[in-house]
Structure 1
Amino acid sequence: MQFVTAGESHGPALTAIVSGVPAGLRISESHVNSDLRRRQSGYGRGGRQQIETDHVEVQSGVRFGVTLGTPVCLRVPNRDWQNWTDRMAASGSAPNDLVREVTPRPGHADLVGILKNNSDDCRNVLERASARETAARVAAAGIAREFLAELGVEVFSYVTSIGSAQYEESDAFMRCGKYNLADIELSEVRCPSAEASQKMMKMIDVARIKGESLGGTFRVVATGLVPGLGDFSSGASRLTSKIGAALFGIPAIKGVEFGMGFQAASLEGSHVHDPIALTHDGFTRTSNNAGGLEGGMTTGMPLVVTCAMKPIPTLKNPLETVNIDTMEPALASRERSDVCAVPAAAVVGEAEVAFALAAAYTEKFGSDNMHDIKANLASYVDRIRTQSR
């Protein structure tokens, strides 16, 4: 299963085409719209979220709520397009009063993008490089999430830090998957701890007053996975590589770690590797420091991956830059922006992980139709249980 997105931040709409979707998968627009709402929510979001009310329009590949086995096309309209029709028109000439963006923002794709594409207007870059594009990814991932749910897999996320405010949890990798997801959703910053949530919100309030922005970390967890998804035979085929690449594709993500991550580098091996045990269901691990992946393959334990997000580059008090027209020092441009988008990025992280896992399942168990996939999965589970006896 794969997807591609198209569309600009202030264009008519964002579009996603999902290919490799099995026939016979029931799709709920309400579930997709719920994820789109979660992406728009979270303490620290900016004015754009007051304009947009994201919802998905299924254009193809689904009939009577069930996939046909053909590409699924999804559309998320941009309500703000009505304010940008002259400046972002796909045809005709630019208006005489068009104001070009000539003061690239440090930390954004603006400058490098115009150098790469020989452009004199940062707008030609920032429209696509905007995090607004991730709405299409979340919509597309609705297909992957429905697919995984049919196979008993759940993907969720929570925020572990914003700025210097952190959620402290002990033995997190053994306890993952046991959170009350309703409590996470009720928190305005999607953190399981009410105390930590309050500290994070206070940091966001201070940053807003100072004209600053904040980054942080979030954790994505997938439960219900079978062992053996992915591969060990080449670097590119390892599921670790695929999930890491997908998460690094999210704007502003600067670090990704699985399980213990960097902490494992400072410990002795006996405190890192997960002992193997045997239960009536087959092989298992007595801890999950690896975060559910060994040798580039799932172990059957919960997948645990943590991402670090940098602060948003658009600042109320902008940094110094260079005007690309005059080549003189200037202050960076100011787009309407968030103070902190870590809770929203966590939802996008879920989307990327869900797609990587859905692709791994179809690679191993087929992609023609849900009936055959479920039969293949059941046969595989029976076989590995027998192998452990």
Structure 2
Amino acid sequence: MRYLTAGESHGPQLTTILEGIPSGLPLTAAEINEELSRRQKGHGRGRRMQIEKDQAIINSGVRHGYTLGSPITLAVENRDFKHWTKIMGAEPLEEDSDEVKRQITRPRPGHADLNGAIKYNHRDMRNVLERSSARETTVRVAAGAVAKQLLKELGIKVGGHVIEIGGVVAEQLSFESIEDLQERTEASPVRCLDELAGKKMMRAIDEAKEKGDSIGGIVEVIVEGMPVGVGSYVHYDRKLDAKLAAAIMSINAFKGAEIGIGFEAAHKPGSLVHDEILWNEENGYTRRTNNAGGLEGGMTTGMPIVVRGVMKPIPTLYKPLQSIDIDSKEPFQASIERSDSCAVPAASVVAEAVVAWELAAAIVEQFGVDNMERIKENIGRHNRQAREF
């Protein structure tokens, strides 16, 4: 399984092509659009979310509600494009037109603007910022929605939540089931299980906005129901924990990833880190604890997958930082673009999507690539063998 995304932030649409999705998977646009709607919510989102009402169109690979096994094309229209038709249009413009003259030559700190302009030799940095924008995560969530549907068919459940925003840390993180986690976080404007901490997070977001600033945070994704032994210890590039870490780090503005207790393991002795192995006739092998976050040696243990990601504060500020104009080489205060003061709750949904994709891809690779029935049979056989091992 793999996917490719295309499109610019203010271009006509965003597109993703998914390859390797098995045939026979139930799939409708409604399931994808539900995930897109979740991405647009959250306390601290900017005006762009009021403009866009993201809806996916399935252009290929699905017939009468089931995947065909052929590539799936998903498209999401950018409604704001009607105001950008000349600036972002594909057709050539006159050299002396206002749109050509309105070049962006002032890179914003914390963005891809300067590095991307140097790499691709763009004197107009709009060519960089339009593609490097987090708007691209719209179709990554769409791809993740398909992956979630695949996992759901196999009894694998995915949930995500926010555990920290702007230094406010959630303390009450217990939940009864993934369904309980999903229900409670959907009711929270910041996707936090701890109601008291959630209110403090919202105040922190409002205070940052009043100051023209932004704040970041930490999100966590939990997945239950993964079979034992998915991934590999044989080669570095087949280790599933490495793929999950890479997926988290690929999300815009994410600067750190950890699995299980992660960096906390550096402060503890091995006796308090490693998960003791248990066995019973009903469940087979389990662990007394889950400090490893469901992954050992690059493979799943059968325990819940626990992955966290750290999102930095959004670098587009209403209190601009100093930069340098690439034409005049003069210092200036970085330009102000429309932005969120905090996108951590939305980033939680993106994190769910990228984790779901990696897990679904690993499942398909290991248990068969052609159709859902074959995958279900292979997983059932594998699970029986693991219990009896």
Give the TM interval when normalised to the shorter protein: over 0.9
Q: Deviations over 1:259-280 (max 9, x none)?
A: 1001111100010000000012
**Corresponding position of 1:356:** 358
TM-score, normalization by structure 2:
0.97
**Corresponding position of 2:224:** 223
Q: Structure 1 residue 65 and structure 2 residue 65: aligned?
A: yes
Does structure 2 retain, via aligned residues, the 8 Å contact 1:20–1:70? yes
* SS in structure 2 at match of 1:379: helix
Q: How does 1:171-186 map to 2 (within 5 A)?
A: 177=178, 179-186=180-187
Q: Structure 1 residue 24 and structure 2 residue 24: aligned?
A: yes
**Aligned Cα root-mean-square deviation (Å):** 1.3
Distance 1:352 1:53 in 2: 22
Distance 2:217 2:176 in 1: 22
**What amino acid maps onto 1:129 in structure 2?**
S
Distance 2:178 2:18 in 1: 28
After superposing the two structures, state which structure 1 stretch, 88-97 or 235-244, moved more.
Answer: 88-97
Q: Deviations over 1:2-38 (max 9, x none)?
A: 1110000000000000000101111021111111011
Q: Deviations over 1:135-193 (max 9, x none)?
A: 010011111111000001111100001011110247x6x97747442111010000011
Distance 2:74 2:231 in 1: 28
Q: Deviations over 1:273-307 (max 9, x none)?
A: 00000012210001101000000100000000111
Does structure 1 retain, via aligned residues, the 8 Å contact 2:159–2:181? no
Distance 1:264 1:126 in 2: 38
**What amino acid maps onto 1:273 in structure 2?**
H
Distance 1:24 1:294 in 2: 32
**Residues 179/262 of structure 1: CA separation in 2 closer, same or farther (3 Å cut):** farther
Does structure 1 retain, via aligned residues, the 8 Å contact 2:172–2:193? no
**Corresponding position of 1:37:** 37
* SS in structure 2 at match of 1:371: helix
**Corresponding position of 1:76:** 76
Q: CA deviation at 1:65?
A: 0.8
Distance 2:342 2:233 in 1: 38
Distance 2:80 2:179 in 1: 40
**Corresponding position of 1:345:** 347
Distance 1:124 1:289 in 2: 44
Unaligned segments of structure 2, at least 5 residues: none
Distance 1:384 1:182 in 2: 32
After superposing the two structures, state which structure 1 stretch, 179-188 or 374-383, moved more.
Answer: 179-188
Does structure 1 retain, via aligned residues, the 8 Å contact 2:36–2:142? yes
Q: Structure 1 residue 162 and structure 2 residue 165: aligned?
A: yes
**Percent of aligned positions that are identical:** 50
Does structure 2 retain, via aligned residues, the 8 Å contact 1:102–1:122? yes
**What amino acid maps onto 2:206 in structure 1?**
D
Of 111, 115, 133, the match for 1:112: 115
**What amino acid maps onto 1:79 in structure 2?**
R
**Corresponding position of 2:269:** 268
**What amino acid maps onto 1:120 in structure 2?**
R
Q: CA deviation at 1:378?
A: 0.8
Q: Deviations over 1:316-354 (max 9, x none)?
A: 011010111211011111111000000001100001000
Distance 1:360 1:13 in 2: 29
* SS in structure 1 at match of 2:46: coil
Distance 1:177 1:291 in 2: 15
**Corresponding position of 2:368:** 366
Does structure 2 retain, via aligned residues, the 8 Å contact 1:27–1:66? yes
**What amino acid maps onto 2:207 in structure 1?**
V
**Corresponding position of 1:375:** 377
Q: Deviations over 1:25-77 (max 9, x none)?
A: 11021111111011011000001001000010000000001000100000010
Of 312, 315, 329, the match for 2:314: 312
Does structure 2 retain, via aligned residues, the 8 Å contact 1:179–1:192? no
**What amino acid maps onto 1:226 in structure 2?**
P
**Corresponding position of 2:243:** 242
**Corresponding position of 1:298:** 300
**What amino acid maps onto 1:361 in structure 2?**
I
After superposing the two structures, state which structure 1 stretch, 326-335 or 50-59, moved more.
Answer: 326-335
**Corresponding position of 1:204:** 205
Does structure 2 retain, via aligned residues, the 8 Å contact 1:177–1:302? no
Distance 1:189 1:42 in 2: 5
Distance 1:301 1:87 in 2: 50
Q: Deviations over 1:68-89 (max 9, x none)?
A: 0100000010000000000001
